[in-house]
Structure 1
């Protein structure tokens, strides 16, 4: 858990993307980029890293959302 918390808190943009998904729910990657004020390629890289670490997942309609572990890690990092 601490390793994932360090991974998330090690990047302001990773944290920002997770918080956007927490507040908006399932969202298109393009929309996440716009809200986060990041270029789409950077957002896609962040989303890929988060997915590889089991914190986000793709939906059937191409959106991304927090996974169960993603929800836990958001709460965990807030408690630090």
Structure 2
């Protein structure tokens, strides 16, 4: 049950980046976003990956790795 809750939470938080990345892709810009916020968020997500490795928690590692890739996509347009 714990893993199911974790997977659902990870899915929701990870998928939340997709609409923003889609908008950046379509407009070619992330100008409406705070670069500082996106960088701090990316640092936090990268830290979560490290935590997942330390805890040997594959859900945390995969979800945050996907989130970081999406954030890097958004940063590309900054």
**TM-score over 0.5 (shorter chain):** no
TM band (smaller chain): 0.3 to 0.5
Instruction: Return the index of the structure with the highest Cα Rg.
Output: 2
TM normalised by structure 1 equals: 0.32
User: Could you say which structure has the higher helix fraction?
Assistant: 2
User: Could you say which structure has the higher strand fraction?
Assistant: 1
